[in-house]
Amino acid sequence: MNETISASRLPASFKDPSGFIFKSGGKFYRQVNNSYAGDYDRLMESGLYKELVEKKLLIPHQEATGFPFVSEDGYKILLPDQLNFISYPYEWCFDELKDAALLTLRVLKISLKHGMILKDATPFNIQFQDGSPVFIDSLSFENYDQTEPWIAYRQFCECFFFPLLLENYRQMDVQKLLSVYLDGIPVKTVAKLLPFRSRFKMSIWLHVFLQNSVSSKNKAGASSGNVSFSKQKLVNLIESLRGAIKSLKLNTALQTTWNNYYDETILSKNYLEAKEKLFREMISGINIGRVLDAGCNDGYFSKILSETNPLVVAVDFDSHCVNRLYLEAKSGGIRPILAFCIDLTNPSPALGFNHKERSSFADRAKSELVTALALIHHLVLSKNIPLQDVAFMLAGLTKNFLIIEFVPITDEKSRQLIAQKNDYHKPYDPEAFEKSFIAYFEIENKQTVPDTERILYRMKKRGA
């Protein structure tokens, strides 16, 4: 096939000479280049692809026969199953990163059975679909040489194991670490940050302190020589990493900002019941696509949204709240919800080469419906964001509807936020709130939550 087409090549898909992702006709495709032809054929013919797809570990694809290439060095064009939402490792909670790490090791071990190995081990090869991680890069597999060590071992440690270790031992949020160390945390840094007692755990001594020592010697000019590395040694390495990662846990006893928000308010039970009744009325008939629950807290209302909507993306800046919601969704007790750590006052920006390698959260999160419950007072009173700027932000996130709760200055939670503040943006009242929002929305419904002064609004975006 010599014909080529003009297509929108993804800005993030440029590093691997084996191929790239492009968009055509509203769908995402992958071109496999001639340089990867042998490895691709082995992936498909060895049974590896079949096993990974059957176990829902790798995203399936179809070969788009007759589809023109984007460049002349094309070998195959693949049409993968389309993803519902793209997220990045610096938006994942602890257990999302942990599950992504374990998935990578499982894919690696299965690959060895079929004579292949992963040539890289970055979390950017993984996305969350239907509440679970799935491997998405079908060009990451190459022929396995039993005499060579795993070339991606250090990358796996730096991108997966080390951030998990630091949150386990130092309560350092993994997403904050990975937002700084986009390519992984260097072993030298981790060795300095881990407590002395961690040295007495064999897996940490092996994968952190010994690796750091070897790395330092190699940089000083010492030669490692020709060290044989059998398949059994690699399997042992995989099992060592797997066991070490499985043992790591999030400190659930740690008190965070909002992880008991509803439990500590005098409004709790009656307020929630009354608000839920109004909320269900307001979302009635809105099941037209993706929903973004902004400031989801423990996911109480995300779960209600998931009853009638095919995809709910729930975000909150409190990583412990997000972690609990992720584990609950993962358990299967509720419909899949994609839960991520997003601070709406400082959301993920566009990053990487030419500012286009990783899209901003605002670009990725546009949804048919946005809900913002018990959120407005945090943004305005705590973070000093003017009402009109909040309205502009939410208008940019929704394509159609907004359901938002106004929490007045007399509310218990609002009073807590301004207790030690001298000033905040005024006026802050229902009139000022509505004036700011009607520039972008039409108010379709407005109800006061019984026995409170909180007001629930259903709005329709102007021009939608």
Read off the pLDDT of residues 342-398 as tens digits, 9 standing for 90 and up.
Answer: 999 999 999 999 999 999 999 999 999 999 999 999 999 999 999 999 999 999 999
- pLDDT tens across the length of the chain (464 residues): 446 666 778 998 999 999 999 999 899 999 999 999 999 999 999 999 999 999 999 999 999 988 899 999 999 999 999 999 999 999 999 999 999 999 999 999 999 999 999 999 999 999 999 889 999 999 999 999 988 999 999 999 999 999 999 999 999 999 999 999 999 999 999 999 999 999 999 999 999 999 999 877 776 554 444 456 789 999 999 999 999 999 999 988 766 555 555 555 545 688 899 999 999 999 998 877 899 999 999 999 999 999 998 899 999 999 999 999 999 998 887 788 999 999 999 999 999 999 999 999 999 999 999 999 999 999 999 999 999 999 999 999 999 999 999 999 999 999 999 998 889 999 999 999 999 999 999 999 999 999 999 999 999 999 98
Own/partner contacts of 67-72, CB < 8 Å, gap of 24 or more, are 67/29, 68/1, 68/3, 68/4, 68/5, 69/1, 69/3, 69/4, 69/5, 69/31, 70/4, 70/5, 70/7, 70/9, 70/20, 70/22, 70/31, 71/4, 71/31, 71/33, 72/2, 72/4
**Over 98-167, what HEC string results?**
HHHHHHHHHHHHHHHHCCEEECCCCHHHEEEECCEEEECCCCCEEECCCCCCCCCHHHHHHHHHHHHHHH
Q: Which residues pair with 117 in a beta bridge?
A: 142
**What single letter denotes the amino acid at residue 132?**
S
- State how far the Cα of 440 lies from the Cα of 182, in Å rounded to an integer: 36
- State how far the Cα of 2 lies from the Cα of 183, in Å rounded to an integer: 37
User: Does an H or E element contain 456, and which?
Assistant: strand 455-461
DSSP letter for 2, please: -
Q: Are 242 and 102 in contact (CB under 8 A)?
A: yes
Q: Are 294 and 317 in contact (CB under 8 A)?
A: no
**Predicted model pTM:** 0.94
Read off the pLDDT of residues 183-234 as tens digits, 9 standing for 90 and up.
Answer: 999 999 999 999 999 999 999 999 999 999 987 777 655 444 445 678 999 9
